[in-house]
A and B are shown apart, each in its own frame.
Chain A
Amino acid sequence: AQTVTQSQPEMSVQEAETVTLSCTYDTSESNYYLFWYKQPPSRQMILVIRQEAYKQQNATENRFSVNFQKAAKSFSLKISDSQLGDTAMYFCAFMKPNDKIIFGKGTRLHILP
């Protein structure tokens, strides 16, 4: 069974700094998708970024980028120029085609003014 591990339960960084959230996963599949979801205090689940396993190029969305290391089964999220609005719980998620999304336990990120 696939598993997703986020080893950092909580992190704090100063506003405008860069922060990296770690995620590792375990699968024997070669074709799958990886996501980072953000859950702010409102509890809404918001998709931040997605990565297809067959793509070697790391996905980027404005200040958010990933470091996808397929062989190492690692999928970290980098937030550049962090903002107060980035304060949230961040979930790493895995999905193989035609299957459910599996979430990690989350990393609570605090952006400090």
Chain B
Amino acid sequence: DSGVTQTPKHLITATGQRVTLRCSPRSGDLSVYWYQQSLDQGLQFLIQYYNGEERAKGNILERFSAQQFPDLHSELNLSSLELGDSALYFCASSASLGGASEAFFGQGTRLTVV
């Protein structure tokens, strides 16, 4: 158990809908990352938050948004969903601002858009 909790584990929704993925980082970790992994693909970086503030942004679509709350949990919002958004979405956390600390990953949320 990495200590990073993601909910829900599985999500099936229709095209055009909006969903929210939730991530609780390890206790004490200030940095949260979101990654997208499509079938048999590598991990694409979406966005990073540090202590409530956006720190880095990757290839995140405008239909997607995220935030980190004062209690450090984070949510990834995906709207106007398309079939191509079906993927495994990972959240990871690390203690520092990505310096000397490796990232620990949650078990992921498997999103299926039908």
Cβ of A45 and Cβ of B42 under 8 Å apart? no
Interface residues of B in 79-108 (CB under 8 A from A): 88, 90, 92, 97-100, 102-105, 107-108
A110 interfacial contact with B, CB 8 Å? no
A111 interfacial contact with B, CB 8 Å? no
Interface residues of A in 79-101 (CB under 8 A from B): 91, 95-101
Cβ of B45 and Cβ of A105 under 8 Å apart? no
Chain B residues near A101 (CB, 8 Å)?
33, 45, 92, 98, 103
| Count of inter-chain pairs, beta carbons less than 8 A | 60
Q: Could you tell me the distance between the alpha carbons of A99 and B42 in the complex, rounded to whole angstroms?
A: 18
Cβ of A98 and Cβ of B33 under 8 Å apart? no
- Annotate B1-28 by CB proximity to A: 1 below 8 A, 0 otherwise: 0100000000000000000000000000
Cβ of A47 and Cβ of B104 under 8 Å apart? yes
Cβ of A44 and Cβ of B105 under 8 Å apart? yes
Chain B residues near A45 (CB, 8 Å)?
43, 90, 92, 105, 108
Cβ of B42 and Cβ of A106 under 8 Å apart? yes
Knowing A33-B102, A47-B102, A50-B102, the reply to whether A100 touches B107 (Cβ < 8 A) is: no
B56 interfacial contact with A, CB 8 Å? yes
A52 interfacial contact with B, CB 8 Å? yes
Q: Which of A42, A50, A100 has the most CB of B within 10 A?
A: A100
Chain A residues near B110 (CB, 8 Å)?
43
Cβ of A100 and Cβ of B33 under 8 Å apart? yes
